[in-house]
Amino acid sequence: MLVEKPVALTADEVQRMLDARPAGAVAACCSSRFRSTETAARATEMVASGELGPVRRLTCTALGAPPKKLDGTGPLYLYKPNWGGLGTLGEWGCYDLDFLLGICGWSLEPKRVLADVRYLPDVYAKKHPPLNEAEVQVSAKVTFEGGAVLDYRRANYFAGEPRDEWAIECEGGTLALSMIPKAPQLTIHRYGDEGIESSVEVEGPEAWGTILGGPVLDFAGAILDDRPPRTDVEQALTVQRITDEIYASAKCANATEC
């Protein structure tokens, strides 16, 4: 079973999928597609080897401008009927979380989430009222067992310079990554005796064909080679649980009681 992203609308739905899965069946989620690249493979290798020390902080800052032509058709989660209540977090957050947590070997266990979401700015809502009440901006801090943290920010309709930055900060240095095709794709910054020493590990840009076709090839390989897929449904459940907690925390922050 190969499931497109997001794996489901809630963690309860994912759990039901797991409960219904036949014994021995291969089940994977396409949220893994951005880990089909040389960038992700090299970063995963470096984290697993411990050459930069323990992971201390994960960061994602992905801020995009509104569409230049506002016609009430995109993004789909605002204008497609019955989208499911998920906004930019549902559309892109599963990729961001899968990318960072997967590179870390799925070793980080989420402990606490504090979050905020924002909706379509009035200037756009008045011009093209959305069909679905879904967020276009999300900010979250996730604390993991052992003390590592995730600082997360993703926004559409952002009033400012666009940014696309992912990073894994370790005790001995930082892996500066680009999840999307961009040069350089992976730069390593190490603490040295004379300051920070930086080197490009993967120049890039990666190919979109590799990214888009990655989950299918990985799924077929998992079946043929009798190995786990890059992201199985249990790991997709971890992503969905964090997603659920982000929405719950944001709802609580805006309520008088929680």
What value does the CA radius of gyration of the chain take, rounded to a whole number of Å? 19
- What is the set of domains in the chain, with CATH numbers? 2-21+28-253 (3.30.360.10)
User: Sheet of 173-177: strands edge to edge?
Assistant: 110-118, 137-144, 149-155, 55-63, 163-170, 173-177, 186-192, 195-202
Contact 55, 47 (CB under 8 A): yes
* Structure confidence at residue 132 (pLDDT): 93
Question: What distance in Å separates the CA atoms of residue 64 and residue 226, rounded to the nearest whole number?
Answer: 40
Residue 256's pLDDT band (cuts 50, 70, 90): low
Question: How far apart (Å, rounded) are the C-alpha atoms in residues 100 and 60?
Answer: 9
Mean per-residue pLDDT for 62-82? 90
Q: Is the pLDDT of residue 254 over 70?
A: no
Copy the structure tokens of residue 212: 């888009």
Ordered DSSP codes for 61-81:
EEE-PPPSS--S--SHHHHST
Residue 177: how many other CB atoms lie within 10 Å: 28
Q: Which residues pair with 55 in a beta bridge?
A: 170
Distance CA(253)–CA(115), nearest Å, equals 8
pLDDT (tens digit per residue) in 153-212: 999 999 999 999 999 999 999 999 999 999 999 999 999 888 999 999 999 999 999 999
pLDDT digits (tens, 9 = 90+) for 195-250: 999 999 999 999 999 999 999 999 999 999 999 999 999 999 999 999 999 999 99
Per-residue pLDDT at 82: 85
Q: Contact 30/3 with Cβ under 8 angstroms? A: yes
Is the backbone peptide bond immediately before 75 cis, with ω within 30 degrees of 0?
Answer: yes
